[in-house]
Each structure stands twice: as C-alpha cells, then as structure tokens.
Amino acid sequence: MSTSRAGLRRSAPRDAGSLPVTRRERWTVGAVTAAFVAVVAFWALFTPVFDAPDETLHVNSAARLAEGGGWPDPGEARFQAMVADARGEAAWPAAERATFAELRAEDPGDVGLDQMTQHPPTYYLYVSVFLRAVDFVDLRVDVALLIARLSGLLFAAPLPLLVWDSVRRVTRSRRAGIVGAASLLAVPQLAHILGSVSNDVMMIAFGSAVVWLTVRLMTGDARRRVVVGLGVALALALLTKSTALPLVPFAGLALLLWPSALPLARRIRRTALAAVIALAGGWWWVRNLVVHGTLQPAGIVYEPTPWADGTGPDPLFFAEQLWQRVSSSFWGKFGWLDYPIPTFLSDILTVVCLAVVIGFAIRRGPLRWQTVVLAALPVVTFAAMLTQTWPSYVRTQLPAGMQGRYFFVIIVPLIVLSAVAWRRLVAPAYRRRAGVAIVLASAAMAVVGYTTEFALAYGGDARRTLDLLPGSDAANIAAVVLTALVGLTAVVAAVLFVGRGSSVPVLAHDADHREAHV
C-alpha cells in the first residue's frame, strides 16, 4: 500500500457524522420509545377481533405453519373456515367467544383462497412460533389473536430510535432528533398496523433499518459493520415482502456514493460485499422469476370487467380516488379501511407536509445529494403503486391497491426529509417553539386515532367496548391508564428537552447547520 493511500485511510474518520448523546437526550428518547411501544400495544388490545387490513388471512397463514401445513404455491393455499367463523364472533362479548379448536370441530373445512402465499413465509414463520408456543388452538380466539399481535412489538420498538438517530445525523440537531421520533405518534394508522397481525409489521422494521444504515453511510459512518448490517437488513427485508424491492437500488446507489471520503474502488468493493449478503434474501424473487415467470405471482386473480360502449378508464376519477384513499389511509383509516379520521384533517396534513417537503427539503448545500437520494424512495414507491393500480383499474374498473400503509416501509426518509424541510422553513429563533408544537400536535393525533376508533368501531359505548376487549374490566382500564401515563411522561420529557435545548454544542460542519447548537 502506498504511503499516500495509507495516509488517506488514516485521515478518513470512521464515523464523521457522530454526535455525542447526552444523558438527558438518552432518557428523553427512551421515554418517547416507551410511549410509542405503549401506543402500539394498546392498539393491539383496542382493535376489534380481526378488524385490521387482511388480518384474517395473515392469521390463517401463520396458523397453517404453526400446525405444519407448509407454504403452498400462490393461488393454492386455502382459507380455513375456523378463521372466518372467528371473525363472525367479533361482535360477541369476549367471554362468550369460542376457541379455534371448538370452531374447527363445528366447521372443519375451508371457505376459499388465502392469497398470502404470494409473499415469502418469513413473517408467518415468526408468528407461528408464538402460536405454537401457546397452543393457540386451545385458546379463546381473541386471546390467541392478541398474543400474535403483541409479537410484533419486537419490530415496533426500534422504530423511534432509528428515526431519532437518522434525523439527528442529517440535521446535526439533538432537538430535531427528538421531534422526529415523537412525530411517529402523528400517524395513528402506523401504530394501528404495527399493532395488528400483518407482514407490514416486519417489513416496516427491516425497511427502516435499511434506510437508517444508509443514512449513516451518507453522513460519514465508514465502518464495515454498517455495510454488513445494511446487507443483512436488506436480505431480511427481501425475505419479507415485495415492497423491499425499491430499497435495492436505493441502498446500492448510497453505497457507491458514500462515505465520499473513501476511494471509489473501496466503495465498489463495499457495495459488492453488501450485495452478496443481500442475495440471502434476493433469491426468493429470482426463484419466482424462474418458477412463476414473474417477480410476484398473484395470490388471487380477479376477472376483467369490460367497459361499456362509449366509456373507458377515467384518469380524473382515478386521480381523485388515489388522493382520497392514499391520504386517508396513511394518517388514519382503521379496521378494513372502514373508520377514517376526519377527511379535512388528513387532507390538510397531506397538503402541508407535501408542500413543505417539496418546497424546502432539497436545496443547494452540503446535504443536497443526500436529500435527493432520500427523496427518490417515496417517488419510486409512488411510481410502483401507479404501475400496479392503474393497469388493475383499466382491467377490472376497481381502484384497488391504493393504501397509504405501503409508504410506512419508508417512514424514516419521510420524517428525515420533513425535518430538513421544516428546519429550513422555520427561522432559528422560532425552532424551539415549532418543535414543541410538533410534539404536542403528534400526541394529539395519537388521541384522535383512539377516539375515532372508539366512536366508529365501538359506537362510543364504553360498556360495550369493555365487554368486547379481551381480559377483565380492571385489566382493560389499567391498560388505558398505563398507556396514558407513559404517553404523558414522554410528551412532557420531549417538550422539556425541545423547549430548553441542550448545553452540548453541535459539531457543526456546514453553514446550513451552524445556528443549530443542539
């Protein structure tokens, strides 16, 4: 090795983007994380039986694996009658519900197809471990379902930490990191999905890990463990759901570009290393191409519906449906998309967030290319949605597949871009007050989610709600109180931290952030 190259390697920082964590910051992000986990856990309890998107099908696939039923080819898996019958008992008082074994004894057959085998089995194998461990067939249905839902807390818990670290590294602001983590509460649909049985739970975690590690590369973390971790996270994401596919070119481009202090040849070798590791998950999609002739075969094929003479696809109608469905189901449209938060609220939030990000996230400066690459993810995700939904609409006349939850896998870059944009929009003198306002608004949105579910799913009847929830009245009331206390503690901690700031100065590295100080 030449002297010049050795000198370059010695001078290149191993993690140029590191920012020391203060004790108060550590406690604050811990409180926010605990609150987010509590909110997700309460959604797992509060959501009526099988009243989350496709939850019956997800449980059916996990139950089949728990009983050694295997993973049939797409279009061949059957939907067990006992799961369909269990959903039929959702309106019954919890104490009167049957066990899966009792339902199977009464109705042992199946009632149709389970399209979930179009996905890799990873998430379902994970849930099946819990179902098998508790001998789920002999448990009351709602209790077994609650255990399956709570198994997802393992994947929900890291999310605030990933957002916090990503935001603080990009913005060089401790306050912004805490606000970013707290802003997860502003999307009650995210907590609703994370508290349900859905492969989105695992996909959100692994997708967020991919973006977090990529952000570390972008901000100067040159350690090999980041490259290896990125390859592992990408492999796991690819073994979970097809929504991981846009992450492949995103991660590859980031590996080639960053850390920029490293020689290009070394960045190419690091990219190759991550790619080899990611192949541990990518093989599933190669197999689909070889066996089925497509990346993701359809679990259920809907018959085409011909358009009447003189009619045809209406782009304006399609665009209207796309806006309404994606916007409302991103912020909060609970159940099987039956219980939306007020439409004006989801519309305002979407318009404001889009306007701020589009107007201020990408500007000339040291962070320009990082934000460009991060912004490419939601653009590609939206384009992928269009390539699926428009042809389906043309063929079937149904505006299907338009769901905001498909953007949750990239919730980290959405929040990072928002943080960058808001910091550029708001003058330094007003940032603390703006941060406090965002924390309080996020907590208020979490409450809006619960009150919407209470009013629309339970009819606003407290007695009926307690009767339908698993567990005793005392246990359910205790869960409400505990969630409220943990949430209130986190809000107070975040408001105090953001409002007062930190005494440790930022290691400012560009003029865009010199005024941050925290």
Per-residue pLDDT tens over the stretch 330-346: 999 999 999 999 999 99
Residue 7 has pLDDT above 50, yes or no: no
Mean per-residue pLDDT, 463-473 = 96
Instruction: Tell me the pTM.
Output: 0.93
Crossing angle of helices 23-46 and 431-457, rounded to 10° = 10
pLDDT at 505: 39
Residue 13 has pLDDT above 70, yes or no: no
C-alpha torsion angle, residues 279, 284, 285, 286 (rounded to 10): 70
52: nearest Cα among 185, 179, 189, 160: 189
The encoded tokens of residue 345 equal 């609220």
Look-up: residue for tokens 């992450």?
247
Residue 225 contacts by C-beta under 8 Å, 6 or more apart in sequence?
Answer: none
Per-residue pLDDT tens over the stretch 338-370: 999 999 999 999 999 999 999 999 988 778 899
Strand partners, 339: 334
DSSP letter string over 322-368?
HHHHHHHHHH-EETTTTEEPPHHHHHHHHHHHHHHHHHHTS-SSTTH
* Cβ atoms of residues 418 and 217 within 8 Å: no
Q: How far apart are CA 285 and CA 295, in angstroms?
A: 6
In the three-class reduction of DSSP (H, G, I as helix; E, B as strand; rest coil), residue 78 is classed as strand
Residue 41 C-alpha from the chain's centroid: 15
Per-residue pLDDT tens over the stretch 420-452: 999 999 999 999 999 999 999 999 999 999 999
pLDDT at 501: 53
Eight-class DSSP state of 503? S
Q: How far apart are CA 224 and CA 29, in angstroms?
A: 27
The encoded tokens of residue 339 equal 């219980």
CB atoms within 10 A of CB 16: 15
Q: How far apart are CA 160 and CA 143, in angstroms?
A: 28
* Cβ atoms of residues 184 and 442 within 8 Å: yes
Per-residue pLDDT tens over the stretch 188-218: 999 999 999 999 999 999 999 999 999 999 9
Amino acid identity for residue 395 in this structure: R
Per-residue pLDDT tens over the stretch 80-100: 999 999 999 999 999 999 999
Inter-CA distances, 337 with 60, 70, 182, Å: 20, 30, 25
